Structure 1
Amino acid sequence: MILSYIITALRAFKLQKQHFALNVFGLSVGLAAAILVALFAVNELSYDAQQPDAERVYRVGQDFSKLGLAVIPISNYTQAKNAQSYSQIEDVFALTLSEQTQATPANVTYRSQGYKLDGLFGATANIERFIALRTLDGSLSQALSTPNGLALSESEALRIFGKVNAVGETLVHEHGQYTVRAVFADLADNTHFAFKSLAYFEHNPENLRANHSYVYLKLAPNTDTQALAKTLTEQYFANDESYQVSIELHPLRDLHLTAKSPFEMKTGGAKQVVVICAGLSVLLILIAGFNFINMTVAQSAKRAKEVGVRKALGASKAQLVTQFLSESVLVSLLSMVLACIAVELILPSFNALVDRELVVNYASMFSVVVLAVAVAVGLLAGLYPAFFISSFSAKRVLSGDLQRGNTAIFVRKSLLTLQASLSIALIIATVTLQQQLAYLQSLPLGYETQQRLVISELPRKMVLTKEPSALVKNLAAIEGVNNVSVVDTQLTVSINNTVAPVWPNGESTEGLTPIIGTDFNVVETLGLKLVAGRGFSAEYAGDWAQRINGTTQVGTLVTESIAKQAGYSQPSEMVGKTITTQGQGMAMRVVGVVADVKVGNAQDANSNIMFLCGLSYGPVAEVIMNIDQQNLPYIQQQVTTVLANHAKIYEPKISLLSEDYKNLLRGDERVSQVVFIFTALAVFLTCLGTFGLASFATIRRQKEIAVRKVLGASRTSIINILAKEFLLLVALSIAIAYPVTYWLVGDWLANFNDRIEQAIWVYGIAALAVAGITWLTVAGLAFKAASTRPSLTLRYE
């Protein structure tokens, strides 16, 4: 029986080659998109699932949002270790930032060759109870519990020593030497951890305010995390602070998609991207399924006599339904095979788009799921056509009286309306995304990004000095370098330090105000725009920070937003005024006002900023160089040489400020590209759906077209008559798409501090595009029908 169904299906495919090819092509496009997105989604949701007891591990975060800042993932290990006395906490683990403590230098030498240990962190010895690491040589616990102990990843060991069995090798640094005591396999890609080197680090039990560690807690089953976070807040902070700063516990499994702090070990994913991709993939499968239904029903007239004959010979409705369902399932399975081939061809480009290394494992459960989805799509898409075609009356079909019910027409028109609505919405979303990204890229940052070279993570005391240090002088002397400045903040990442200012009129702010420590040359090097006053200058002794009678006095540049916040309508009125602080013993004399400067990412960039001359609390700083970019390769080479020779800093982190800023928008650019690709596919599949319904309408109205031609109607008038029906459906789809799209796009734009307004012309363009494509699709079929001689259609009448 099954074999007969398959043979009959193959014969039907042979007789209806065009219909078969369109169905297979449409379904294969939808399934290929679904497979790609499923691979991406499964990978995103798999992050850190391999870690021991991952569902019970939480990272400690500090919430500064009430002070106008963000949630940061860095906290104090000793505080967490003291909290281990609580029954809910089973174990505590920490990864300590090496550049924040300077106790674990990353710059080392081996056999007179300089190296920088990549991804170096101090780690507690219980690391294997929190992270699934495969030790290749030595002992991790011994390496991280022995002073000067070091553990290297496989790639780091090969890079430095040329071998994996490196236990016992020594690396010399400025404070002594490391001894390699373990080598571990490289971390998997699907983890938020990003270290390649681990060193022994001793935490000071007396220091309860040093926030330089990623701290992880393993909690007992069924722990109330919110109650524990409240208890930890009360322990970490004094009562007067607990209302402003609080402790949060973030599940390990959620960090990749939800953690957005600029201090993450590596850039995470976005739940929004996963949801958008999954949603668009489902939409494509639905559109492909709708096309299958429309085109199958459109061909029903060609199968009507077959159904009539088979019913006259005794075939039951169940047998006919099974026959047509078997055809749709075969089409779906063949489409799945073609989709898998397409996936293999497209996967490298898709990996580059989403910045992942995805592979399809056909010997896994994933293949079973894909097969099940293909069968389900075939059954669901073929169900309505199967019942529709098998419901034909044998007597009426064989007598030539084939009538179609209003329900079938309503279903087909509803599906096409929904497809057109989705296409319009996706076009609007794509154009708006592109506009928003272009707007963000064109926003004035308050500083110049072009021709600025940045050297990151340099020891602050080595570069931020009142008199230019030898290192800074040597960097400034490089040919092609116009001027050099030092700041203690990564402008494209986030603010590191804040103060609680009291304005000159005696009023204080509720939150904290970001500060940036700089040297004298910050205005010239960064290209800050002076609105009032002057920049910092070595000619004024009071500009550089100095401690006098228990008060830190420092020259200050403020932004226009700060001047307004302090109550001054004219920026020049603030020049010469002194800003004090709440309990911090600072007197900040305003020497100038600059145009607003945006620091951080595009969605929450902060422009209420004060620049302090010679004052910084962080251990590292950045050197920013105004350069002649034509000499970039030479300058980079010279910078590397100067740092190695004069500071024993190897493999420095050097980048162009313009590229750093572009990287801020890379995530949104990926979303835009994904939406654009899926939009193009959705519009294309909608064209196929329109083709199917237009084909059905043309066949149904062939006699009407012939009669109109006999009566003198032109081809153009016939085309417009047929197209009118579809354009009315497009008009209905516009009425559905506009309000829903306006709300969804507006909700997305609300995530940005700086954003565009939705443009009416975009909505008009989307509607005209879909209407134009629909008209062209219908016109192509109508023109062919209108060109047919009426005698060929009416000769049997």
Structure 2
Amino acid sequence: MFKNYCRLTWRNLLVNKGYTLINIVGLAMGLSVCLFILLFIFHETSYDKQHAGSDRLYRVATAFKSQKDVSAIVSSNANVGAGLKAEMPEVEQAARLLEPGNDGSLVLGYEDGGEKKVFYEKKGYYVDASYFDLFAYRWLRGDARTAMAVPNTAVVSRELALKLFGRADPVGKTLKAGNGVFTVKGVFEPLGPSHIDGDLFLNMDNEDLRPWLKERTNWATYNTFMTYIRLKKGTDVDAFSKKLNPFLHRHGSRDITNAGAERMIFLQPVADIHLHTESPYDHDLSPNLNRSYLYILGCIAFFVLLIACVNFMNLSTARSQRRAKEVGVRKVMGALRGQLVAQFLGESLFISFVSLLVALLAVWLLLPAFNLLAQRELSLFDYPAALGWIAGLGLVAGLLAGVYPAFYLSSFRPIKVLKGQLVNSLSVLFLRKGLVIFQFTIAIFLILSSLLIWEQLRFWGRTTSGFRRTSSWSFRYGRPGRWRITGFSRKRWERIRGSMRWRGDDLSGTAAFQRPAILPAGAECDRRDEYPVRSGGV
């Protein structure tokens, strides 16, 4: 019986090649869109889930309360992590992370046999030795236990190791970062996406940074440190959170009073940072995403697949006149309605299965372009659950698209069919027209939404930014990698600005402590007169 069903299904699909092709292409496009969106959603919801005890991993953030408003930053002062680890029995481990310089970039240098390599690295961070006790990576060279065991050490990602050292073994080699010299102790690659998108981690215990760190004893200023803690199993997070502000005021009440604004610290679950960090936070290590966008994308995937299923149903019911005689003859020969339903559902499931294979092939071919568009590094097999979802959606789509045509076609009465008296009822006509109207309504809505987004992006691209991007430059002056521009004066700036006219062009410029719109988390200046700015025009 099953073999007979398969033979009949194959023959019907081959005889109606146009109908088969339209259905396969339509369902394949719907499933492809769903798979792209599913891969993106699974990727965005997997941030920082790869770390051991990720459900107990938190970042300590800081809120500022003044008479006018309340603001918050994702960092804290230098003393919070060590203080919590020493005083709070609930804290299992703590570590700090610090962005270098004012714009988060380091000058890296490596020299080997007369060959010099010098460039800026924007994904480099200073970390405590305990950092790798909290965050998990795949180690290609070295290991987490010994990577930061001694001062002046560094670990690099596989990409940065190839960029600096080529195919040579990086372990044991020295590189210059900022104003320090570091020995490479390991090479790593990420286990999964993380809000800490780092290619270089430098031991915070180094000769260059150590004197500066010893001066950071104030509990109210220099809130530039990302502080991470892991709580012990069974800890009541709400009860622990209530201890944080008394702890802060116990150590820094005088500093907070002198600073002139109330400080409070609170916890952020690390696994929630990527999808839950929104305003009023001023800065984060990497761009975050609003969770509502994932809901919107999920709705788009649902409606696109629904349109494909409705199209399948409309085409099937539209062919009812052609298949009516087949149904009549088979019923006269003794076929039961259940057998006809099984055959028609089998045809739908077969088309759905072929469409699923075509969709997987299309996604595999188009994924590089999608990654470029979404600025992600997705792989078809990174998330097996996404493939399971799309297989399940393919099965549901086949059943959903085939169940109504199957029951509708199998309901024909053989006498009326063979006499040519088959007339579609008003309910069938209204249902078919309603499905067509629904299909076109959703399609028009999606098209108009896409055009609106496209026009908005074009508007942003055409809007003037207030300066000529092609003829504007920025450069550093002073010692890269430090938080002060030493020895900077108006007289030196005038000499620099004068040298900009060496070609006789009427150039203009200005000086600033940092590039516009770039501010390290919680960066504060306790001596504003140390960074004078003289404008030479815009």
After TM superposition, the score normalised by the length of structure 2 is: 0.82
Aligned match for 1:185, one of 170, 183, 188: 188
Secondary structure class of the residue paired with 1:484:
coil
Q: Which amino acid aligns with 2:268?
A: H
Task: Please report how far the alpha carbon of residue 150 of structure 1 lies from its aligned counterpart in structure 2 after TM superposition.
Answer: 2.7
Would you say 1:280 and 2:261 are equivalent positions?
A: no
Question: 2: distance between equivalents of 1:367 and 1:497?
Answer: 42
SS where residue 223 of structure 2 aligns? Answer: coil
Question: Is the Cα–Cα contact under 8 Å of residues 73 and 521 in structure 2 kept in the other structure?
Answer: no
Deviation at 1:478, TM superposition (A): 6.0
Counterpart mapping for 1:256-405 below 5 A:
256-259=274-277, 263-361=283-381, 364=384, 366-405=386-425
In structure 2, the CA distance between the partners of 1:56 and 1:22, relative to structure 1 (3 Å rule), is same
Is the contact between residue 107 and residue 115 of structure 1 (CA under 8 Å) also seen in structure 2? Answer: yes
Aligned partner of 2:156: which letter? L
Q: Is the 8 A contact 1:148 1:178 kept in 2?
A: yes
Pairing partner for 1:125 from 121, 126, 129: 129
The separation in 2 between residues aligned to 1:86 and 1:363, in whole angstroms, is 38
The answer as to 2:472 corresponding to 1:461 is: no
Report the equivalent of 2:25: 25
CA distances 1:599-648 after superposition (whole Å, capped 9, x unpaired):
xxxxxxxxxxxxxxxxxxxxxxxxxxxxxxxxxxxxxxxxxxxxxxxxxx
- Greater CA drift, 371-380 or 62-71: 62-71
What is the CA-CA distance between 1:377 and the residue it aligns to? 1.1
Distance 2:178 2:374 in 1: 40
Letter paired with 1:312: V
Aligned match of 1:414:
434
| Contact 1:107–1:116 (8 Å) recurs in 2 | yes
Q: Take 2:383 and 2:396, find their aligned partners in 1: how far apart are those partners?
A: 20
How many residue pairs get aligned? The number is 508
Question: Aligned partners of 1:174 and 1:294: how far apart in 2?
Answer: 66
Distance 1:265 1:481, change over 3 A: farther
Shift of 1:51: 1.4
Q: Which moved more, 1:228-237 or 1:27-36?
A: 228-237
State the alpha-carbon separation in 2 of the partners of residues 370 and 252 from structure 1: 29
Cα distance between partner residues in 2 of 1:456 and 1:496: 20
Q: Distance in 2 between matches of 1:213 and 1:335?
A: 51
CA distance in 2, matches of 1:292, 1:200: 60
Q: Give the secondary structure class of the aligned counterpart of 2:182.
A: strand
Is 1:137–1:164's contact at 8 Å kept on the other side of the alignment? no
Displacement after TM superposition at 1:470 (Å): 9.1
Partner residue, 2:74: 73
Query: Which residue does the alignment assign to 2:269?
Result: 251
1:477-488 matches, within 5 Å, as 479=503, 482-488=507-513
Aligned CA distance change for structure 1 residues 338 and 456 (closer, same or farther; 3 Å): farther
Q: Which one has more relative contact order, counting CA pairs under 8 Å at least 6 apart?
A: 2
Aligned partner of 1:93 in structure 2 is 95
**Against the structure 1 CA distance between its residues 164 and 279, is the aligned structure 2 distance closer, same or farther, given a 3 Å change threshold?**
farther
Question: Once structures 1 and 2 are overlaid, which stretch shifts more, 356-365 or 423-432?
Answer: 356-365
CA distance in 2, matches of 1:496, 1:91: 23
Report the CA distance between 1:376 and its aligned residue.
1.8
Match 2:173 to one of 147, 169, 173: 169
TM-fit CA distance, 1:126:
1.6
Q: For 2:28 and 2:246, locate their aligned partners in 1 and report how far apart those are by CA, in whole Å.
A: 58
Separation in 2 of the partners of 1:191 and 1:248?
21
Aligned-partner residue type, residue 535 of structure 2: N
Give 1:286 shift: 0.3
Distance 1:86 1:138 in 2: 32
Paired residues for 1:193-272 under 5 Å: 193-202=196-205, 203-204=213-214, 206-208=217-219, 209-221=221-233, 223-236=235-248, 238=253, 245-259=263-277, 263-272=283-292
User: CA 1:456/1:59 → structure 2, altered by over 3 Å: closer, same or farther?
Assistant: farther
Secondary structure of residue in 2 paired with 1:427: helix
| Gap change, CA 1:188 and 1:482, over 3 Å in 2 | farther
| Mapped contact 2:28–2:358 kept (Cα < 8 A) | yes
Cα distance in 1, alignment partners of residues 521 and 92 from structure 2: 32
State how far apart, in whole Å, the 2-side matches of 1:453 and 1:31 are. 46
Residues in 2 aligned to 1:45 and 1:363: alpha-carbon distance in whole angstroms? 11
SS state of the match for residue 50, structure 1? Answer: coil
Q: Give the whole-Å Cα distance in 2 for the aligned partners of 1:6 and 1:107.
A: 65
Q: Which residue does 1:36 correspond to in 2?
A: 36
| Bigger mean CA offset, 3-12 vs 223-232 | 223-232
One-letter identity of the residue aligned with 1:252? V
Partner of 2:53: 53
- Specify the structure having the higher radius of gyration (Cα): 1
- Aligned twin of 1:521: 535
Residue by residue over 1:693-746, the C-alpha shift from the partner in whole angstroms, topping out at 9 and shown as x without a partner, is: xxxxxxxxxxxxxxxxxxxxxxxxxxxxxxxxxxxxxxxxxxxxxxxxxxxxxx
Q: Note closer, same or farther for the CA distance 1:498–1:370 as it changes in structure 2 (3 Å cut).
A: closer
Inter-CA distance 347–367: structure 2 relative to 1 (3 Å threshold) = same
- Flag structure 2 segments of 5+ consecutive residues without an equivalent: 206-212
Contact 1:144–1:198 under 8 Å retained in 2: no
Going from structure 1 to structure 2, the CA distance change for 1:244 and 1:465 (only over 3 Å counts) comes to same
Contact kept in structure 2, 1:495 and 1:516, CA below 8 Å: no
State yes or no: 1:437 paired with 2:462.
no
Give me the identity figure in percent. 26
For 1:539-688, list aligned pairs within 5 A: none
Residues 293 and 463 of structure 1: CA distance in aligned 2, closer, same or farther (over 3 Å):
farther
- State the Cα distance separating 1:469 from its structure 2 match: 4.8
Give the TM-score of the pair, scaled to structure 1.
0.57
Structure 1 residues 101 and 26: alpha-carbon distance in aligned structure 2, compared to 1, 3 A threshold: closer
The match for 1:115 among 113, 118, 127 is 118
Letter in 2 for 1:170: T
Cα offset, 1:183, TM superposition: 1.4
Structure 1 distance, partners of 2:494, 2:474, is: 18
Q: List per-residue Cα deviations over 1:173-206 (Å, max 9, x = no partner).
A: 78563333x1122335622222222222245473
Pairwise mapping of residues 483-522 of structure 1 onto structure 2 (< 5 A)?
483-493=508-518, 519-521=533-535
**Cross-structure match for 1:695:** none
| CA distance in structure 1 between the partners assigned to 2:293 and 2:79 by the alignment | 37
Contact 1:100 / 1:212 at 8 angstroms: preserved in 2?
Answer: no
Q: Aligned partners of 1:184 and 1:79: how far apart in 2?
A: 29
Q: Does the residue aligned with 2:534 lie in a helix, a strand or coil?
A: coil
Cα RMSD after superposing both structures: 3.6
Cα gap change, 1:14 to 1:496, in 2 (>3 Å): closer
Over 3 Å counting, the alpha-carbon distance change for 1:481 and 1:311 in structure 2 is farther
Residue 82 of structure 1 corresponds to 83
Q: How much has 1:146 moved relative to structure 2?
A: 2.5
Distance 1:409 1:350, change over 3 A: same
**Contact 1:148 1:177 survives alignment (8 Å):** yes
Partner amino acid, structure 1, of 2:28: S
Per-residue deviation at 1:62? Answer: 2.4
Cα distance in 1 for residues equivalent to 2:461 and 2:487: 31
**Offset at 1:426?**
2.2
Stretch of structure 1 that moved more, 399-408 or 446-455:
446-455
> Structure 1 residue 472 and structure 2 residue 474: aligned?
no
Does the 8 A contact of 2:147 with 2:186 survive in 1? no
The one-letter code of the counterpart of 1:61 is A
Give, as a single letter, the amino acid of the residue that structure 1 aligns with 2:244: L
Q: Bigger shift: 288-297 or 51-60?
A: 51-60
1-structure distance, mates of 2:52, 2:364: 33
CA contact (8 A) 1:92 1:215 kept: yes
Partner of 2:210: none
Assess if the C-alpha contact under 8 Å between 1:489 and 1:495 holds in 2: no
